[in-house]
Amino acid sequence: MLFKTVFESYMTVSGEDRGAAYQDHLMFNAMNVFFPKSVPEISPIDLSDYLKDTRAKRIKRRGELVPLQPATLNKHTAFLRRILTHAEALGVTVQRFRWSAFVVMEAEQTTGFLTIPEEHTALVDIDDYIRPLFLFSVLSGVRQANAIALRWPQVDMNDRVIRFQAKSRRPGGKAYVVPLTSQIEGVLEDEWGNHIDYVFTFRAKRNNRWGYEQGKRYPLTKAVVRYWWEKLDLEKRWHDLRHTFGTRLYQETKDIHLVQRAMNHADVNTTMRYIHTDLSDVRSAMEILHNKVANLHQQEQIEDKPVPKFSRNFKGGALGGSRTTLGFQCLTLKVRAKRPFDAKRLFWASPSRSPLHHRATEGGRDAPSWQAANRGADAGGLAGRPHDVRPPGAYLLDFAKWTLNIP
């Protein structure tokens, strides 16, 4: 079966009106030239050569030729995998791929949000026709594509909402409702009457080859917005306005699910990537935590309970024992104070009988911990019981038997 035939079947099943359908067509056009025509002939070597050829291409960004991002290469790989999976569903035999070997490592995504000074700079220096779109985006958190394509029929002033068909792989998109606030309404009212259909427009300064006539209003485009945004030289993306909205909304409400609904995310993990905290937020949280811990220790002191102190070079305590042994001793001492019988049972069967403890204390019966354990045994009438050496963990078995009343 031909690669083109499988792709056409895939698009018929998945739908041509999906948000990602346009990108699927672009990737198919690139692969259809490079790959063999027959699907069973497509091999892992072909995919490797295709990624090598694609990586060598350059695209123009901010006036410079730059290579494609690793995320773009991974999208091409994922697209081929979907096509071959669909071919298998059609009964076509395809070659075996180890897809994880073709995943290109992506750099950590550098996302951020606008600070108040950066936002003020943008409001002052940005073009007058782009400023309303900027304000709408930072106030509502709407994606750039949805904001640019906003039409007046989508705005419902009676119910005070805006209805979108958001980005989604579902046919027709996903319903997305944005509530109107007084600030957003003010932005929209300023644009009322500029264009019969689109909300955000600009006035052409001259006639050009794209059919623009001087003095007439036309809808904003991504290219126009990108040109004026890059002139600000803020080293931030337009999409960071959405991050700014999510971060500020979470700082105000502390409700992650509310932010998820406001940003129309299907998964709350996606929302987590839109929430950013700076160093001052971390410092404030640490101060609150440290104060609470200090207050708890102060309350323990008032109740005449000893407050444990550990040095910076703590490696097992004064006895030179392991962390596990010393920690268990502290636990048994605490239990002994509250439940003497339980403590007696634990003391007789635990650290003093462990080979690990004998090696760590290097003192055998003369070690202080053994003497303390023996005193605990004496208090319970167990003096003289043999402290035989048993494997670590045997005391847990004895304690379990005693708890369950097993002889």
Q: Residues 383, 295: one domain?
A: no
DSSP 326-365: HHHHHHHHHHHHH-HHHHHHHHHHSGGG-HHHHHHHS-GG
Q: What is d(CA 81, CA 321) in angstroms, rounded to the nearest whole number?
A: 56
The verdict on residue 194 lying in a domain is yes
The verdict on residue 231 lying in a domain is yes
Percentage of the residues of the chain whose pLDDT score is greater than 70: 70
Find, among 86, 94, 89, 88, the residue nearest to 8 by Cα: 86
Asked whether residue 339 carries a pLDDT value surpassing 70, the answer given is no
Q: Residues 248, 168: one domain?
A: yes
Q: What is the pLDDT of residues 192-214, one digit of tens each?
A: 989 999 999 999 888 887 788 88
Of 79, 102, 125, the residue that ends a domain is 102
User: Which range is least confidently modeled, 6-15, 66-75, 346-355?
Assistant: 346-355
> Which pLDDT does position 310 carry in this prediction?
45
- Tell me, yes or no, if the pTM score tops 0.75: no
Asked whether the CA dihedral 336, 340, 342, 346 is positive or negative, the reply is positive
User: Which range is least confidently modeled, 243-247, 357-361, 394-398?
Assistant: 357-361
> Which pLDDT does position 381 carry in this prediction?
43
Q: Residues 332, 267: one domain?
A: no
The verdict on residue 317 lying in a domain is no
Average pLDDT over residues 45-51: 91
Q: Residues 243, 218: one domain?
A: yes
Asked whether residue 225 carries a pLDDT value surpassing 90, the answer given is yes
The verdict on residue 313 lying in a domain is no
Highest-pLDDT range among 25-34, 135-144, 248-257, 355-364: 135-144
> Which pLDDT does position 173 carry in this prediction?
62
Count of beta carbons in the 10 Å neighbourhood of residue 116: 7
Q: Residues 161, 256: one domain?
A: yes
Q: Residues 173, 234: one domain?
A: yes
The residue behind tokens 């904003």 is 220
The verdict on residue 111 lying in a domain is no
The verdict on residue 174 lying in a domain is yes
The verdict on residue 109 lying in a domain is no
Q: Residues 132, 227: one domain?
A: yes
Q: Residues 65, 164: one domain?
A: no
DSSP H helices, 56-208, are 70-89, 116-125, 131-140, 144-148, 182-191
User: Residue 213's domain is classified under what CATH number?
Assistant: 1.10.443.10
The answer to whether 186 and 135 have CB atoms below 8 angstroms apart is: no
The verdict on residue 318 lying in a domain is no
Structurally, the chain folds into a number of domains equal to 4
Length of the chain: 407
Of 212, 247, 272, the residue that ends a domain is 272
Average pLDDT over residues 123-152: 92
Average pLDDT over residues 389-407: 55
> Which pLDDT does position 305 carry in this prediction?
54
> Which pLDDT does position 19 carry in this prediction?
67
Q: Residues 196, 268: one domain?
A: yes
Residue 177's DSSP bridge partners are 163
Computed over every residue of the chain, the mean pLDDT equals 76
- Strands 161-166 and 174-179 come out as antiparallel
Q: What range does the domain containing 238 cover? A: 116-272
Asked whether residue 114 carries a pLDDT value surpassing 80, the answer given is yes
Both structure tokens of 302 = 């008032």
> Which pLDDT does position 154 carry in this prediction?
93
The answer to whether 23 and 75 have CB atoms below 8 angstroms apart is: yes
> Which pLDDT does position 71 carry in this prediction?
86
Q: Residues 51, 165: one domain?
A: no
